[in-house]
Amino acid sequence: MATKEPPLFRDIDRVLIDREAIAARVRAMGAEVAADLQRAIDRHHDPADAQVVLIPILTGALVFTADLIRQMPMMLCLRVVAVSSYPGRSMASKGAKIAGELPQDLAGKHVVIVDDILDTGQTLAVVKRLIQEQGPASVRICVLLRKPESCRKERIDADYSGFDIPDEFVVGYGLDYDGFYRNYPQIAVLRAAATSALESRA
């Protein structure tokens, strides 16, 4: 009897970035971000005073952040922030809204905002502005994916970006459609049938 393929895999149309490519890139990014932070720390009068805070934007940055921080051999803290921009089955950004509290003790610290993808830029613009108001020592933006500049509604870019992708809706490695597919281990495009099946289940 043929084994039935689980829906998670059956719903994928094509893989844009496979797990080996993601792993290699995330390893290099972790090393690069850590080296830049270390240089910033070493410029402090007393480097022991310098503090590094990574702020992953939930929920999409969860998988990326988990892999990234394990490539950063340094003292750092994690403080999460939740932002909703693609509620439910929306495949277009509805504008960013901070859901819950932003960390309030970032003055003088080296902050790295981590997100899954830079699309319109609204999410990162809102989060960066609110963090900058607190007077951190530095703010960097690190994303796994970046859509073309023509998608941007805000003048913002990432300091570190893993891959430039076309303007397509992607899932996997933390990115969802209607809450699902975050655990698919690669960056992929869904079959049209999968999105319409989820829609008809409403």
**Catalytic residue numbers?**
119
Residue span binding ligand 5GP (CB under 6 A) among the ranges 14-22, 35-43, 64-72, 112-120: 112-120
Structure tokens belonging to residue 28:
């290099």
| One character per residue 168-197, x = contact with ligand 5GP (rule: CB under 6 A) | -xxx---xxx--------------------
**What's the rounded Cα separation, in Å, for the pair 63 and 163?**
16
CA torsion angle 125 131 132 134 (round to 10)? 160
Q: What whole-number distance in Å separates Cα of residue 141 and Cα of residue 17?
A: 21
Least distance from C-beta 42 to ligand 5GP, angstroms? 32
Does residue 123 have a cis bond before it (omega within 30 degrees)?
no
Q: Is 56 among the residues that bind ligand 5GP (CB under 6 A)?
A: no
**Tokens standing for 25?**
């890139």
The answer to whether residue 55 forms part of the interface with ligand 5GP (CB under 6 A) is no
Shortest distance in whole angstroms from residue 185 CB to ligand 5GP: 15
User: Is residue 116 within the footprint of ligand 5GP (CB under 6 A)?
Assistant: yes
Q: Which of 109, 119, 184, 188 binds ligand 5GP (CB under 6 A)?
A: 119
Residue 164 Cβ vs ligand 5GP, minimum distance, rounded to whole Å: 13
Q: Left, alpha or beta for 132 (phi > 0: left; psi -120 to 50: alpha)?
A: alpha
